[in-house]
Every structure is written in C-alpha cells, then in structure tokens.
C-alpha cells in the first residue's frame, strides 16, 4: 500500500533518490526500490538500481518478522531483478534481452 501511495503522489526524481538513499529506514528504501521496479522501463532498471546491488545495509529487526526476506538491501534488489513475483504479486516482466544483461 505504501508503494501505491507513492505512485499516486507527485514527486521529483530528487525526492525519489532521497528515498532510495535513506540511511535510517530500511522500509523506506524498500518502498522506493519496489516503486522503481514497478514504474521504470526495463531498459532503465539497471541504470537506476545498479548502485544498490552491492549495498550492505542490513534488514536488522525486519528479518525476524517476515519469512523469505533477504539479509541486505543488495540481496533485496537482486531478488527484485530475478524473481517474477513479489510475495505473490506479479512483477512487470523483464524482456529476455534485459534479463541477459543483468
């Protein structure tokens, strides 16, 4: 529901970048990353999320609350690229050419 709310609000690229780079809230970063995965063209995804693949920010207390949650933001981004569903919700399909680049 937070991702949908973000979708309905007007925001600038700088505001989205601030959300993606948030250093305090893992949840805020995940919302931003998932928003990017749903709204950006597949050809632009890697350019937008490349720097986060190696992000070592830990999920901390969230790990114990949800099964199947990755350990770091980098692993989270990797699952957004590789999995076809996000907790049962289908993600936009990545074309084969884009998937090969990843």
Distance CA 19, CA 87 (A): 22
Confidence of residue 52 (pLDDT cuts 50, 70, 90): very high
Distance CA 59, CA 99 (A): 26
Identify the burial level of 48 via C-beta atoms within 10 angstroms of its C-beta, where 0-12 means exposed, 13-18 middle and 19 or more buried.
middle
Q: What is the mean pLDDT of residues 34-63?
A: 87
Identify the burial level of 91 via C-beta atoms within 10 angstroms of its C-beta, where 0-12 means exposed, 13-18 middle and 19 or more buried.
middle
pLDDT digits (tens, 9 = 90+) for 56-98: 988 776 665 666 678 889 999 999 988 999 888 899 998 888 7
Q: Domain tally for the chain?
A: 1
- Cα dist. 65→31, 61, 70 in Å? 17, 7, 12
Could you list the residue range(s) of the whole structural domain that residue 72 is in? 2-101
Q: Give the predicted TM-score (pTM) of the model.
A: 0.84
Identify the burial level of 41 via C-beta atoms within 10 angstroms of its C-beta, where 0-12 means exposed, 13-18 middle and 19 or more buried.
exposed
């Amino acid at each position: 529901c937070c991702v949908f709310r973000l979708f309905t609000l007007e925001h600038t690229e700088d505001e989205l970048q601030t959300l993606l780079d948030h250093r305090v809230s893992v949840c805020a970063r995940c919302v931003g990353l998932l928003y990017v995965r749903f709204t950006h063209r597949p050809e632009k995804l890697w350019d937008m999320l490349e720097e986060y693949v190696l992000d070592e920010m830990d999920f901390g207390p969230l790990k114990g609350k949800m099964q199947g949650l990755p350990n770091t933001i980098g692993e989270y981004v990797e699952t957004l690229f590789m999995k076809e569903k996000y907790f049962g919700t289908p993600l936009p399909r990545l074309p084969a050419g884009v998937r090969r680049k990843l």
